[in-house]
Amino acid sequence: ALTYVRRQKRSLVVKADGLAAGKGVVVAADEAEAERAILDMMVRKVHGSAGDRILVEERLHRSLLPPSHSGTTLDFWKGGDG
């Protein structure tokens, strides 16, 4: 996983493959943060066995939520007129 991260030239997301109480995802700002996340999960076992296997994915930079008429995605979640 560390070799893969070092070869990438894009932002990455590191995810624990098991159940980690909603804490098993790191959206890495840079290569160093992705490496720390991998070591925390797989070596330091900060999420216990949830980090025995991890996923490393490319970070998506665009919101998948449609903007509302007022121009913010937060209004989309209100369910009303925003």
Number of Cβ within a 10 Å radius of residue 32? 10
Structure confidence at residue 59 (pLDDT): 87
Euclidean distance between CA atoms 79 and 63, whole angstroms: 18
Query: Which of 33, 31, 52 has the alpha carbon at shortest distance from 43?
Result: 52
Instruction: Say what the pTM is.
Output: 0.71
Quick: pLDDT tens for 61-75.
665 555 555 555 454
Quick: pLDDT tens for 3-36.
999 999 888 999 999 988 888 999 999 999 999 9
Euclidean distance between CA atoms 20 and 25, whole angstroms: 9
Number of Cβ within a 10 Å radius of residue 75? 16
Euclidean distance between CA atoms 77 and 47, whole angstroms: 30
